[in-house]
Amino acid sequence: MGWIHDGLQSFLELRLLAPAMCTDGSFRPLIATLLLLVALQAYADGPVVVVMSAASGVDRLTREEVVNIFLGRFRQLPNGQSALPVDQPRDPGLFSDFYGQLVDKTPAEIRSYWSRLRFSGKTAPPEQAPSEQEMLQFLASNPGSLGYLRAGQQPAQVKVVFNLGD
């Protein structure tokens, strides 16, 4: 379970950094606790999984394929079909965890990356779904489309093609 490892690592790094960040000893426990809460918050909801419609005909994707599709480098599925990724920017926690677990990039870095491609007329960013429900509807009506969810929350009409916690 890579995400537990990552979570622990973040916690340990922050715990080690915390004493150095404050000169007044009395604030240390408080700051350490706050940092711990922040670290745990980022992983509280667990890993993110990439899902496709159960009727898509795709069973499994590699991490490289998911990166290529979501970052617009090469949007083709293993069966030759065009891939159509869907983001959920209105769920900042999910958006942040998805790109953090996929390529270790922050939402600001992802936005910066897309500003380069968008304003040089290249690939368009993923479709923007306002909610998980709309993402699922989009997946149902577009067989080549991919979205993401928290692990263990996927409804029956979609299947997990990649688990970012693996």
Contact set with another protein (CB under 8 A): 64, 68, 73-76, 82-84, 103-109, 111-113, 115-116, 118-121, 124
Least distance between another protein and beta carbon 77 (Å): 9
Q: Which is nearer to another protein, 48 or 83 (CB)?
A: 83
The amino acid sitting at 148 is Y
**Closer by beta carbon to another protein, 38 or else 55:** 38
Least Å from the CB of residue 152 to another protein: 26
Closest CB 158 distance from another protein, rounded Å: 21
Task: Give whichever of 45 and 127 is closer to another protein, judged by the CB atom.
Answer: 127
CB of 156 to another protein, least distance (A): 26
Smallest separation, CB 67 to another protein (Å): 9
Please identify, using beta-carbon distances, which residue of 60 and 111 lies nearer to another protein: 111
Q: Supply the DSSP string of the chain, one letter for each residue.
A: -HHHHHHHHHHHHHHHHHHHH-SSGGGHHHHHHHHHHHHHHHHHT--EEEEEETTSS-----HHHHHHHHTTS--B-TTSPBPEEEE-TTSHHHHHHHHHHHHS--HHHHHHHHHHHHTTT-PPPPEE-SSHHHHHHHHHH-TTEEEEEETT---TTEEEEEETT-
Task: Kindly tell me which of 99 and 148 has the beta carbon lying closer to another protein.
Answer: 99
Q: Which two tokens stand for residue 114?
A: 């897309």
